Amino acid sequence: MTEPSATFLLFGATGDLARRMIFPSLYNLLSDGLLPDDFLIVASGRSDMDDEAFRKEVDAALRQFLPADRYDGDVAARFVALIGYQPVDAGNADQFAKLAERIDGRLERGLSVYLSTPPSLFAPTAQGLSEAGLITPHTRIAMEKPIGKDLASSKIVNDGIGALFVEEQIFRVDHYLGKETVQNLLALRFGNVMFEPLWNTTAIDHVQITVGETVGLEGRVSYYDGVGALRDMVQNHMLQILSIIAMEPPARMDPTAVRDEKVKALRSLRPMTAETVKHLSVRGQYTPGAVGGQIVTGYADELGQPSDTETFVALKAYIDNWRWQGVPFYLRTGKRMPARQSEIVIQFKPVRHSIFGRDGQHGAGGTGLEPNTLVIRLQPEEYIRLQIMTKRPGLERQVQLEEVTLDVSLTAAFAGQRRRIAYERLILDLLAGDQTLFVRRDEVEAQWAWIDSIIDGWREANVKPAAYSSGNWGPSSAIALIERDGASWHD
Ligand code: BG6
């Protein structure tokens, strides 16, 4: 089917993600004229409400979560008029039948179902859809993470959905893939001739991926505790970023070619063991401290009890293939970090031979020769910076080198372009049936297989989170993890 789905059915419509991201994204798509004619949004949640009451809630969410200059009363009125609300409890066949009545006669023109619910409801919801006759070859289903909590449970979730949909109908959401800068990695690597020949163990010393957040638990206690940073951030977002950095060039930008290459990279991750986790990983948990000048409480205080859940993790990963042999990938992510900052750092090797005398040393006797660094900042700003060596002006007999930065601010280069919500791209692709930016089952499983090796290692070696004061980049052992190798986290 080439036409985009004419109906969008959202489960979990009264939840936080729907209010913050999904409705504002749909609003933006409508405002930009990107939704099909005669589009219908059927919103479903457990609360009992009529269309009017729900539309008011959506309008309030748009006012709250859209930038003030983006909210337009006329567009909002047109937008909420597209929405109908149907209360549905998974397992209630009558309510699914009512849902089907609302969509009656529209199935041929495509139905995109979006599950923004806890994963325990995925399979029962799919079952309800099936019994109500809502699954046809023109139906697609999108699922939010987490897909399981380990490889075994992810298989159960995937089997449940896979019993009713074929893989081409299943869209696993990782919202990082909707971020412009993450897609830009593909453009950078494969749209330029200059990076790819250097993108391997010959020229690259190591790679760093940092996703720092200043927030703490944010009231997500019931979800987060027992899950932790490794499952919440590394299993999905960070490994997706890693796979795009590490993959071989796909033959073309299509869902099969791109995901085939990503999964090969993910499968090449060297599993950890009880022995290796001790020097390849660091777990941390925040204690009271200050973030951005604000005093904040510790994780255990927010939770109301002690816990072994990590809110920070740092890893040294290896990808055992030809391209990346011996190149460490350092990953770190955490809550209550000093800054909301996500970036990728490609640290190149030093030049093979310095013609300028003693290299790598500033000051007397040194020329200041430093290896090149490529920094790709994902957020809060979006930029690409390349540190290169130049000659400092002057008449010294020995050439003095100085690092300067080739600095491309994507925000400035594309000034006037609205910064989009990652979900806009993903919803548009879901409606159009393009799976390139969605995660295939084998990718999720390869991600879990590696994560499981770390969790098993932690359990066997009894690795507990080390304390770090809020407002720091994790425990000091995270700094030692990289400094032992003669490198340091990019500042
Ligand atoms: C979510 C995690 O997937 O990503 C959250 O569950 C995290 O814990 C969020 O805060 C980060 O997303 P972003 O887009 O704000 O970097």
3 is in an annotated binding site: no
Closest atom, ligand 1, to C-alpha of 145: 3
Q: pLDDT value at position 35?
A: 97
pLDDT at 62 over 80: yes
Residues 76 and 127 in one domain: yes
**Mean pLDDT score across all residues of the chain:** 95
Residue 18 CA to ligand 1 center (angstroms) comes to 14
pLDDT at 86 over 80: yes
**Could you give phi then psi for residue 260, rounded to 5 degrees?**
-60, -45
Ligand 1: residue whose CA is nearest its atom 2: 232
Q: Which of 233, 234, 379, 423 should be mutated for ligand 1, with most atoms under 8 A from CB?
A: 233
Q: Please give the residue range of the domain that contains residue 99.
A: 7-144
Q: pLDDT value at position 158?
A: 95
The edge-to-edge listing of strands for the beta sheet with 83-87 is 83-87, 40-45, 7-11, 111-115, 139-143, 170-172
Question: Does residue 166 form part of some domain?
Answer: no
Q: pLDDT value at position 361?
A: 62
CATH code, domain with 222: 3.30.360.10
What token pair was written down for 469?
A: 């004061």
Listed residues 129, 144, 159: the one ending a domain: 144
pLDDT at 82 over 60: yes
Using N-to-C axis directions, what is the helix angle for 23-31 and 51-65, rounded to 10°? 80
What is the number of other CB atoms lying within 10 angstroms of the CB of residue 208? 21
Q: pLDDT value at position 491?
A: 79
What is the number of other CB atoms lying within 10 angstroms of the CB of residue 244? 22
Closest atom, ligand 1, to C-alpha of 175: 14
| Choice among 79-88, 128-137, 227-236, 363-372 with the minimum mean pLDDT | 363-372
pLDDT at 166 over 70: yes
pLDDT digits (tens, 9 = 90+) for 381-398: 899 999 999 999 999 888
Listed residues 94, 124, 144: the one ending a domain: 144
Question: Does residue 158 form part of some domain?
Answer: no
Q: pLDDT value at position 365?
A: 62
pLDDT digits (tens, 9 = 90+) for 170-196: 999 999 999 998 999 999 999 999 999
Q: pLDDT value at position 148?
A: 93
Q: Is the shortest distance between the CB of 213 and ligand 1 below 6 Å?
A: yes
Residue 288 CA to ligand 1 center (angstroms) comes to 21
Residues 451 and 307 in one domain: yes
Residues 119 and 186 in one domain: no
237 flagged as catalytic: yes
Q: pLDDT value at position 416?
A: 86
Residues 131 and 211 in one domain: no
For residue 2, what pLDDT band results from cuts at 50, 70 and 90? low
pLDDT at 360 over 70: no
For residue 403, what pLDDT band results from cuts at 50, 70 and 90? very high
Question: Does residue 229 form part of some domain?
Answer: yes
Residues 128 and 267 in one domain: no
Question: Does residue 160 form part of some domain?
Answer: no
| Choice among 188-192, 320-324, 355-359 with the minimum mean pLDDT | 355-359
Residues 135 and 209 in one domain: no
97 is in an annotated binding site: no
Q: pLDDT value at position 362?
A: 61
Q: Is the shortest distance between the CB of 144 and ligand 1 below 6 Å?
A: no
**Could you give phi then psi for residue 59, rounded to 5 degrees?**
-60, -40
**Model pTM?**
0.96
Question: Does residue 153 form part of some domain?
Answer: no
User: Which stretches does DSSP call E strand in 231-311?
Assistant: 281-287, 289-291, 294-296
Q: pLDDT value at position 222?
A: 85
* Mean pLDDT of the region 411-426: 92
Q: What is the ipTM of this complex?
A: 0.99
Listed residues 144, 167, 189: the one ending a domain: 144
Alpha-carbon gap, residue 484 to 371, rounded angstroms: 18
Residues 122 and 185 in one domain: no
- Decide if 46 contacts 13 (C-beta within 8 A): no
Alpha-carbon gap, residue 103 to 84, rounded angstroms: 10
- How many domains is the chain partitioned into structurally? 2
Read off the amino acid at residue 458.
W
Residues 68 and 12 in one domain: yes
Q: pLDDT value at position 479?
A: 97
Closest atom, ligand 1, to C-alpha of 379: 16
Alpha-carbon gap, residue 443 to 2, rounded angstroms: 26
Residue found by looking up tokens 């609300």 in the block: 85
Residues 84 and 186 in one domain: no
CATH code, domain with 51: 3.40.50.720
Question: Does residue 426 form part of some domain?
Answer: yes
Question: Does residue 90 form part of some domain?
Answer: yes
pLDDT digits (tens, 9 = 90+) for 375-384: 999 999 899 9
Q: pLDDT value at position 220?
A: 86
pLDDT at 1 over 60: no
pLDDT at 276 over 60: yes
Residue 466 CA to ligand 1 center (angstroms) comes to 22
- Decide if 171 contacts 438 (C-beta within 8 A): yes
Residue 335 CA to ligand 1 center (angstroms) comes to 10
Q: DSSP of 80-124, one letter per residue?
A: HTTEEEEE--TT-HHHHHHHHHHHTT-GGG-EEEEE-S-GGGHHH
Closest atom, ligand 1, to C-alpha of 220: 8
Query: Of these residues, 138, 206, 237, 279, which one is catalytic?
Result: 237
Up-side HSE of residue 22: CA atoms within 13 Å toward CB? 27
- Decide if 402 contacts 391 (C-beta within 8 A): yes
Residues 207 and 139 in one domain: no
Of all residues in the chain, the percent with pLDDT exceeding 70 is 98
- DSSP letter assigned to residue 88: -
Q: Judging by beta carbons within 10 Å of its beta carbon (0-12, 13-18, 19+), is residue 81 exposed, middle or buried?
A: exposed
Alpha-carbon gap, residue 338 to 349, rounded angstroms: 29
Residues 430 and 351 in one domain: yes
Question: Does residue 256 form part of some domain?
Answer: yes
Q: pLDDT value at position 90?
A: 87
* Position with higher pLDDT, 217 vs 173: 173
* Position with higher pLDDT, 326 vs 222: 326
pLDDT at 20 over 80: yes
Q: Is the shortest distance between the CB of 232 and ligand 1 below 6 Å?
A: yes
How far lies 243's CA from each of 246, 249, 278, 314, 484, in Å? 5, 11, 24, 17, 25
Residues 277 and 349 in one domain: yes
